[in-house]
Structure 1
Amino acid sequence: MNTVVPRFHGKLTKWNTDRGFGFVVADQGGQELFVHVSAFPREGRSPVIGESLSFELELDKEGRKRAVRVRRPGDPQPRASRHPRQGTTEGARRRAPERAGSGSFGSVLIALLLAAGVGWFGYSRYTERVEAMPTASQSLVSPAQTAAPEIASPAFQCDGRKHCSQMSSCSEAKLFLQNCPGMEMDGDHDGIPCEQQLCSGPFGGG
Structure 2
Amino acid sequence: MFLEGKIKKYNTERGFGFIDVDGDHADVFFHIKDFPKTAGEPKIGEKLKFLIVEDNGKFKAANIVRLDLKTVSTNYPNYSDNGASDSKLMLKPTQSSKKGLTFTIVGLIIIAILARLVFQKYQTFQQAKALKTAQLIEEQKRIVEQQREAVGELPEVKLSEKTEHALKAPSTPQVQTYNASPVTATQKFSCDGRQHCSQMRSLEEARWFVRNCPNTKMDGDNDGEPCENDSRWR
TM-score bucket of the superposed structures, by smaller chain: 0.3 to 0.5
Bigger helix fraction: 2
RCO higher in 1 or 2 (8 Å CA, sep ≥ 6)? 2
How does the TM-score come out when normalised to structure 1?
Answer: 0.36
